[in-house]
Structure 1
Amino acid sequence: MAARADARSRALQARAVELTPGGVHSNVRLTGPSVFFERGKGAWLWDADGNDYVDYLLGQGPNFLGHAHDDVITAVDAAMRRGGVFGSQHVLENEAGELFLDSIGWADRVRFCVSGTEADQAALRLARAVTGRTKIIRFEGHYHGWLDNVLIKTVDGVTGPASAGQSAHQLDDSIILGFNDAEALAAVLAERGAEVAAVILEPMMCNSGAILPVDGYLQRVRELCTEHGAMLIFDEVITGFRLALGGAAERFGVTPDLAVYGKAMAGGWPVAALAGRAEPMARFAADVNHSGTFNSSVPACAAVSAAITVLRQEPPYQRIEEHGTRLMDGLRKLGADHDLPLRVQGLPAAFHVGFGAGDGPVRDYAGLTALDLHRYADLVPILVDHGIWVAPRGIWYVSAAHGDSELTAVLERLDAALTAAERG
């Protein structure tokens, strides 16, 4: 394969590092190849040098309908022509709220905001207010934003701050456990349940490893939270509207007390939401502060309404299930063909690719870190050179826009990339 043109991207990167630290505006992008894109449509991206990429990163997940979906673009364009932010309510808020709540099925009230990080903070604050407690039980490898009181990393079994400058004492209220270990949770709640305001988790561990809950785990977590009076918070920023219209709560049949949504709910627009039952959510109208100038902006609500309407009227879930299953099978076959210990784990809509021995599924963060994660990260620049856009951390997302042509393209390109990697 001929070398891909990259002169404009290299020039743009050189200028970017003069304008912003590391040349990026989110530290997540520090670890990936420096490619500057000009446009995206459906499941494809085109960079500044005219190269095309079949996209299985989807902007880290938000482009669940594909890039620049016509219905979302039309709705946002029409809404913006009437104004963007009024400092008061507007007529699209109720429409978006009704569609959202009717779709997830279990909640009574919703608050729209801008980012998942913000919505997680609102959920934790609300849980503390409702319970009068301060401790939060969390899980290794689960991500709830980049702020001081939630950002963690685990090294050699020890969990602590993940950033220089992070105020370590803000993690004092966090009790951190391993995922999929219900007995460990039961033991902590038996001893300290009167201190625990909430248990927060990704119901499917998507940020790290695409790790599924083992059978009965989420049901047991629900039972334990109810027994000890702790609020159960699902962080559905990734799983919401992706695993099903009703998210992980629908897919796994477990209802939380509060849940945070983002990414797939708005067709690529920056919107997040916190949903819950009427009684606890009423505290936001009383003594719990949750504010934001751009919360429920006009274009945000237009995007939510348009994206959810598409998901309801043209459900993509079966097509995504079929495409993702064929893709996962194809990746495994290519791994075998090239005699590589390639591991593929997760659900068709969101799965993890990595290297490691053994056939059994990874169940927790410790199991994930036992894999050869660096080997996969080193492979990603070769995949990018062959026109496959994916994340170095191993997550692959499937969208409603992926079809047969994308499947053919990615498997052909991956085969060529693995051959190139073998040649060194």
Structure 2
Amino acid sequence: MLDNTQEFERAQRVLVGGVNSAVRAFRAVGGTPRFIARAEGAYMWDVEGRRYIDYLGSWGPMIVGHSHPKVVAAVREAAGRGLSYGAPNVLESELAERICALFPQVERVRFTSSGTESAMSALRLARGYTGRTKIVKFEGCYHGTADSLLVKAGSGALAFGTPSSAGVPEDVVRHTLVARFNDLASVEAFFVQHPDEIACVIVEPIAGNMNLILPEPGFHEGLRRLCTQHGALLIFDEVMTGFRVALGGAQQVLGVTPDLSAFGKVIGGGMPVGAVAGPARIMDMMAPLGPVYQAGTLSGNPLAMAAGLATLELISEPGFFDEVSRRCARLVAGLNEAARVAGVAFCAQSEGAMAGCYMLASPPRFFEEVQSQDVERFKRFYHLMLDAGVYLPPSPVEAFFFSGAHGDAEIDATIDAAHRALAAVA
């Protein structure tokens, strides 16, 4: 039988850090990563044969569960016709039509192969459309690994950005301004300081990369007002929230319409995918119609399009989001009750099929509150849950993901595990 420790040692000899995405290395929680052999429904199995209730969901796309028969069948059928063409295919138009139908302001879509590409392309498009250079992002919001977005705040929230990764020259991010999520005044100050210079404000409308943080009432309405007033574009990065917190994404939940949206994850059903979407007057600035260049060899590949179409068909069934939201909320209520019984500073909250848990007495509103968690307690809690067969994201600053495959048995087992784990770390 294969062994996780041996597989990690093997991987470290040929892969950087033994992984192909940094958070998978378990550095935030310690211990040995689990090497997954297969996944089905709400479960994953590692190479040692251990089964886990999965709340990672491949970091978001598996909203109908792993290996759903309809999604697998769609991919197999598409693969039988060829893996990639480098030429137009009908499935691209079908998926784009589905997205346009769900988002009234979206008239054009440009597919990419990752969320990083979609966010990067949205920024380039915003700069090309407005003729401006500066962008506003928020500390704690993650938009992929494009250089100009790998930025955190300098001294104070109203400082110019400084790179948060080696290899990113300061000159690259000198036009990136970093504001405080849920603090509209920090954004207003930038528009006062840099009138007629800001091309766009990009935001995770419901933050998921500093754990789940819900927006304060009026925050996004204020962003919409500021961008309209100053001629900047508002970009919602819905790579994580799109088709997950609601069929119409966070913008449906919030009732706020962005100028551009970045999508990914769910629209590929687990296959590599991304998309930029918006009205024709902006999107048609992209090549081949306009001067903003964007291209990708595997963009719109038939396997991703087929998986995305099958997934959207499943989540568009009447009652899907009502039911998955109800069950996710029941899980969250059970976790909060377990914390109350244990007498430990721990809480959880959810929106749609997306949730967060924190080593805090109440849900965080700001990035610095997430950073104030008891990390050592979280590490102990994480491994107790893992040992009990519950796979959460291996980081205290990541949201977790629910799916239509999680039923009462999985919810009850998770709550039972949490009762034991929280009592042990109290």
Task: Give TM-score, length-normalised by structure 1.
Answer: 0.93
- Asked if the contact 2:236/2:258 (under 8 Å) is kept, the reply is yes
1:196 aligned to 2:198? yes
RMSD: 1.8
SS state at 2:349 partner: strand
Q: Report whether the alignment pairs 1:243 with 2:242.
A: no
Pairing 1:302–2:306 present = yes
2:110: which partner in 1? 111
SS at structure 1 position matched to 2:111? strand
Match for residue 22 of structure 1? 17
State the identity %: 37
Indicate the residue corresponding to 2:236 in structure 1: 234
Q: Does 1:288 align with 2:292?
A: yes
Distance 1:153 1:392, change over 3 A: farther
Give CA deviations for 1:373-409 in whole Å, capped at 9, x if unaligned. 4421342122111111011334221111111011111
Q: Are residue 12 (structure 1) and residue 14 (structure 2) matched?
A: no
Alignment partner for residue 332 of structure 1, among 329, 333, 336? 336
Which residue of the other structure, out of 403, 406, 411, is the alignment partner of 1:402? 406
> What 5-or-longer segments of structure 2 have no aligned partner?
none
Query: Which amino acid letter does the alignment assign opposite residue 237 of structure 1?
Result: V
Q: TM (normalized to structure 2)?
A: 0.93
Within 1, Cα distance between the matches of 2:104 and 2:268?
Answer: 17
Question: Can you list the C-alpha shifts for 1:355-377, whole angstroms capped at 9, x where unaligned?
Answer: 124x4x42211222123244213
Q: Once the 2 structures are TM-superposed, how far is the Cα of residue 28 of structure 1 from its aligned partner?
A: 1.9
Q: Is the 8 A contact 2:380 2:425 kept in 1?
A: no
Distance 1:348 1:373 in 2: 26
**1:22-421 residue pairs with structure 2 within 5 A?**
22-31=17-26, 33-153=32-152, 157=156, 160-284=162-286, 285-357=289-361, 359=362, 361-394=363-396, 395-421=399-425
Q: Any conservation in 2 of the 1:128–1:197 contact (CA below 8 Å)? A: yes
Look up the equivalent residue of 1:75 and give its one-letter code.
Answer: A
3-state SS of the aligned residue for 2:200? Answer: strand
- Aligned partner letter, 1:81: G
Query: Displacement of 1:419 after TM fit?
Result: 4.6
Where structure 1 has 5 or more consecutive residues not aligned to the other structure, the ranges are: 1-5
Q: Which amino acid aligns with 1:146?
A: T
Q: How far apart are the structure 2 equivalents of 1:304 and 1:79?
A: 12
CA drift of 1:86 comes to: 1.6
- Counterpart residue number, 1:3: none
| Aligned-pair CA distance for 1:44 | 0.6
- Bigger mean CA offset, 60-69 vs 385-394: 385-394
Post-superposition CA distance 1:93-124 (Å, at most 9, x none): 21111112112332100011110000111000
Conserved? CA contact 1:266–1:306, under 8 Å: no
Distance 1:323 1:186 in 2: 39
Q: Distance between the aligned counterparts of 2:291 and 2:68, measured in 1?
A: 40
In the alignment, is the contact (CA less than 8 A) between 1:148 and 1:168 conserved in 2? no
Matches of 1:346 and 1:79, distance apart in 2: 35
